[in-house]
Structure 1
Amino acid sequence: MSLTEMTIPDFQTIIDDFSFLDDWEERYKYIIDLGGQLAPLSDEELTDTNKVRGCASQVWLTFDDVDGGILKFRGESDAHIVKGLIALLIALYDGQTKADAARIDPKAELAKLDLQDHITPQRSNGLVSMIERIRAQTSA
């Protein structure tokens, strides 16, 4: 079991937790806390190959080969809120078969958190870039 499996709640739990938070300041803190639970990538993983283009912050995603076509990935960013967004994507996609992950509608799922109205356009564009990188991996 990886560190992310032990610490990042599933996506439905995150949705439920959001419903108990009264304002966006608390929700931002929650997202940042989720990101703080991610295991850091090693220096060897912080490569140009793993870097996600289109993000205002530095973002790296690594994908692990797992038998059975299960999507496993980890991520890192130099921005706390972006690490939290990576954690949200891990909660949404990690552990899914590639086929199931390819059927996820990330826009609809993330809309359940009302993120689109509460993150900057640059963060939103970066989130789209991360999703595109994950989706490319599910079709590989």
Structure 2
Amino acid sequence: MATDTPQQALDELIEEFGFFDNWMDRYQYIIDLGKQLPAMPDEWKTAEYRIDGCQSNVWIYDEQHGDHLHFSAMSDAAIVSGLIAVVMRIYNDRTPHAILAMPKDCLDQLGLSQHLSPTRNNGLHAMLAHIYLTAAKLA
């Protein structure tokens, strides 16, 4: 379980992104983060868990562990897997209240929206919408 807050996780990501001089290096870092995602069981890679609005395949399986929400997620695209890893660092293993307390546009602080293609941006927003909706149902 995550011990820091979502804002602390975002602040750490902002600091890490600051280590890189350009967006090509940041993209590579995002891809590297995606390679570290835990494997997802094939039984969760179904239409039930697929996120609509993403050009590539994205699956998010969520379950409640005590008062925390745990998300398992993956994509079949490298950059999208990295975006999932960024999202998971901020939102995974948090209480619904902690998730809902984060501004929905908080990832703008990373500069992603200006540097992602429109389809990747739409996919990122679809993932976030799913996470916030899941948290709202349990709050």
TM-score (norm: length of structure 1): 0.89
For the residues of structure 1 that align with 2:41 and 2:9, how far apart are their CA atoms? 25
In the alignment, the residues of structure 1 paired with residue 96 and residue 9 of structure 2 have an alpha-carbon distance, to the nearest angstrom, of 17
1:94 aligns with 2:92: yes
- Name the residue aligned to 1:132: 129
Which runs of 5 or more residues in structure 2 are unaligned? 3-7
Deviation by residue 1:36-81 (Cα, 9 ceiling, x = unmatched) = 100121111101111000100000001122112x121011101000
Q: CA deviation at 1:94?
A: 1.2
- Gaps (5+ residues) in structure 1? 3-8
Question: Which residue does 2:24 correspond to in 1?
Answer: 25
> How do residues 36-115 of structure 1 correspond to structure 2 at under 5 angstroms?
36-68=35-67, 70-107=68-105, 109-115=106-112
8 A Cα contact 1:71 1:101, kept in partner: no
SS of the residue 2:86 aligns to: helix
SS of aligned partner of 1:61: strand
For residues 14 and 36 of structure 1, what CA distance do their matches in structure 2 show?
A: 16
The runs of at least 4 aligned residues of structure 1 exceeding 6 Å deviation read none
Q: Residues 106 and 91 from structure 1, CA distance in 2 versus in 1: closer, same or farther, beyond 3 angstroms?
A: farther
Report the 3-state secondary structure (helix = DSSP H, G, I; strand = E; otherwise coil) of the residue aligned with 2:74.
strand
Q: Distance in 1 between matches of 2:35 and 2:14?
A: 18
Match of 1:118 among 110, 115, 118: 115
Q: How much has 1:10 moved relative to structure 2?
A: 3.0
Number of aligned residues? 132
How many percent of aligned residue pairs carry the same amino acid? Answer: 36
The one of the two structures with greater contact order (alpha-carbon pairs below 8 A, sep at least 6) is 2
Q: Which moved more, 1:82-91 or 1:11-20?
A: 11-20
